[in-house]
Chain A
């Protein structure tokens, strides 16, 4: 709580406080130099805070019994270059008291079984990231701490990481994931903490940031808006559900965001609708032969929130004073 770390005159983090809930994937976001890595390293006992403390299950990392069996961390793709990948993992497995079988298992899990005997120095950055993740998984931990895990990954690797984190969360496990690549976390995290210049600028669940929207451009925007309003009225009368199959488990899309009217006019030929309406708009336009110039769904506007909160320099100097900026969010 109230974590502060100062390197000589530079405030790396200032009075940072947030909590990670068990069973959630928390995105820890911020520009380069905002204090993400310092915060994670304090949590893992590698850096001593100037004041405050970081706790896991109410205890400091080094106070946990065999901590690498509770917490797996991917901080940097570190490995001795001439050591084979399997030996690198075995050197970590020995003090953890996990056997060779587990080493082979985690190598398979990250897709490096074919490169197990190769020296790590010959690995690409993406392969090193996978190896780092394999090392974090050795102790079969409940909490994963990942610092910029997508660095060096190609698009396929990023997709693999996203799927991995989703399956991780689906098992009810916990992850704290730092990143400055917003696209990588938007589809993965349940909760977002944004840090800027060493201070927490936002700490909110993803649903509060917004659930995205559908944009429609058509020369007959008025006609389409009227038809959508009729559809809303008919649905209200029939008392039916969402009908689109999109946004499972989410709020009723007709009432989700923009009041009673599903379509909001944002330009002479442009409408904005709640998330999950794309299929119905397409179907309605086809039924009434309305030409559509554009129809697309935008994800949660994490990027907009991020840039609104982190605008300006981020060298961490002289930021000890001044209020913590509070975010302006949808639904608050």
Chain B
């Protein structure tokens, strides 16, 4: 099929054949056209080129902030942190306070971000808004890239928040040296492990949502895969779902490098699979 614009309108309807009641709408359109032309000339530089990845990330963050479920999930997570900070780990030994830092700041967050990533990607298909998103941005890989970057930004910011809160809490309960304030390299390394693992979990969530194109299927699938991973000795804490648990569930003074590499590797593999699956049709 070709839609060709050859100019002219042999079958075109003459303007004077308009019904009387269409005139106000017509006038409105005409005034709108003038407004549109003016606004285009004001901003003609960016209008002609497609949206950059930064603008697409901003769009995804706007969608998240205006979606009641996703906004509530983040708010609820932050609220839950308050009683956790107040009661979790009270009266423990200094070394236990440090050892619990990674799991307390990242474990719940990692799986929240995995679920949030599923929602960000899959709700577009659940509510059919992927059609509109892809009409505005036909380069689907850019949309997926923006969704991935959005969970990475969210993961980094929320990790920084929770990590800082738990460090402050540890300093208040114990002292600065216990929380390695005198060894910033060690503290930074602990944060990096939390942030990378949390972001990797979020990336797996987005990819699973994009692959399955349905939030329920993605979440159930991830739960099922996670349970299967826990059964096998060779897959436990090494699969896409349980590798974050293998990193963040261990004391801060220990690091399961296999789990860390596995979580990053699975994030990369899931992204590659989601990119490859983007070519699938979006039928009505």
- Contact residues of A with B, CB < 8 Å? 1, 3, 7, 16-25, 37-39, 41-48, 52-58, 61-62, 65-69, 71, 73, 75-76, 78-84, 87, 90-92, 94-99, 101-102, 105, 109, 119, 135, 140, 143, 147, 163-164, 166-172, 174, 176, 190-191, 205-207, 248-249
Contact of A39 among B1, B29, B132 (CB under 8 A): B1
Contact of B62 with A97 in the complex, beta carbons under 8 Å: no
Chain A residue nearest to B4 (CB atoms) is A19
Which of B1-15 touch A at CB < 8 Å? Answer: 1-15
Contact of B25 among A68, A167, A172 (CB under 8 A): A167
In the complex, given contacts A41-B283, A42-B1, A190-B12, what are 9 additional A-B residue pairs having Cβ atoms less than 8 angstroms apart? A22-B6, A24-B12, A81-B127, A87-B62, A91-B63, A97-B55, A164-B25, A167-B29, A168-B29
CB distance from A138 to the nearest CB of B (A): 9
Cα distance A286–B58 in the bound complex, in angstroms: 71
CB distance from A1 to the nearest CB of B (A): 5
Cα distance A94–B36 in the bound complex, in angstroms: 16
Contact of A66 with B47 in the complex, beta carbons under 8 Å: yes
Instruction: Rank and list the top 5 A-B pairs by shortest CB-CB distance, nearest first.
Output: A23-B9, A78-B128, A190-B11, A62-B138, A22-B5
Task: Judge if B75 is at the interface, Cβ distance under 8 Å.
Answer: no
Chain A residue nearest to B60 (CB atoms) is A91
Chain B residue nearest to A55 (CB atoms) is B2
Chain B residue nearest to A73 (CB atoms) is B135
Contact of A172 among B12, B51, B129 (CB under 8 A): B12
Residues from chain A with Cβ under 8 Å of B48 in the complex: 65-66
Contact of B3 with A143 in the complex, beta carbons under 8 Å: yes
Cα distance A58–B4 in the bound complex, in angstroms: 7
Chain A residue nearest to B26 (CB atoms) is A167
Cα distance A84–B279 in the bound complex, in angstroms: 30
Chain B residue nearest to A57 (CB atoms) is B5
Chain B residue nearest to A91 (CB atoms) is B63
Cα distance A44–B40 in the bound complex, in angstroms: 24
Cα distance A325–B49 in the bound complex, in angstroms: 44
Contact of A25 with B13 in the complex, beta carbons under 8 Å: yes
Contact of A95 with B56 in the complex, beta carbons under 8 Å: yes
Given A82-B67, A164-B25, the answer on whether A18 and B1 have CB atoms closer than 8 Å is yes
Given A66-B49, A80-B127, A168-B29, the answer on whether A20 and B4 have CB atoms closer than 8 Å is yes
Chain B residue nearest to A189 (CB atoms) is B11
Given A167-B18, A248-B16, the answer on whether A92 and B136 have CB atoms closer than 8 Å is yes
In the complex, 30 of the A-B residue pairs with CB atoms within 8 angstroms, ordered by the A residue number, are A1-B2, A17-B1, A21-B8, A21-B10, A22-B8, A37-B283, A37-B284, A43-B3, A46-B282, A47-B281, A48-B281, A53-B2, A54-B1, A55-B2, A66-B50, A67-B135, A71-B135, A76-B128, A78-B129, A78-B132, A83-B68, A97-B47, A101-B35, A140-B32, A166-B13, A170-B15, A172-B9, A174-B5, A190-B12, A190-B13
Residues from chain B with Cβ under 8 Å of A171 in the complex: 26, 29-30, 33
Number of A-B contacts (CB under 8 A): 211
Cα distance A96–B19 in the bound complex, in angstroms: 33
Cα distance A42–B132 in the bound complex, in angstroms: 14
Contact of A248 with B12 in the complex, beta carbons under 8 Å: no
Contact of B14 with A249 in the complex, beta carbons under 8 Å: yes
Cα distance A22–B11 in the bound complex, in angstroms: 10
Q: Which secondary structure characterizes the binding site on chain A?
A: mixed
Contact of A83 with B66 in the complex, beta carbons under 8 Å: yes
Contact pattern, B 54-74, Cβ under 8 Å of A = 1, otherwise 0: 011011001100111100000
Given A66-B48, A95-B56, the answer on whether A82 and B68 have CB atoms closer than 8 Å is yes
Residues from chain A with Cβ under 8 Å of B76 in the complex: none
Cα distance A207–B35 in the bound complex, in angstroms: 35
Residues from chain B with Cβ under 8 Å of A56 in the complex: 3
Residues from chain B with Cβ under 8 Å of A41 in the complex: 281-284
Contact of B39 with A101 in the complex, beta carbons under 8 Å: yes
Task: Judge if B17 is at the interface, Cβ distance under 8 Å.
Answer: yes
Cα distance A174–B40 in the bound complex, in angstroms: 20
Contact of A79 with B129 in the complex, beta carbons under 8 Å: yes
Task: Judge if B22 is at the interface, Cβ distance under 8 Å.
Answer: yes
Cα distance A167–B22 in the bound complex, in angstroms: 7
Cα distance A55–B4 in the bound complex, in angstroms: 7
Contact of B138 among A16, A58, A67, A101 (CB under 8 A): A67
CB distance from A148 to the nearest CB of B (A): 9
Contact of B9 with A97 in the complex, beta carbons under 8 Å: no
Cα distance A73–B16 in the bound complex, in angstroms: 27
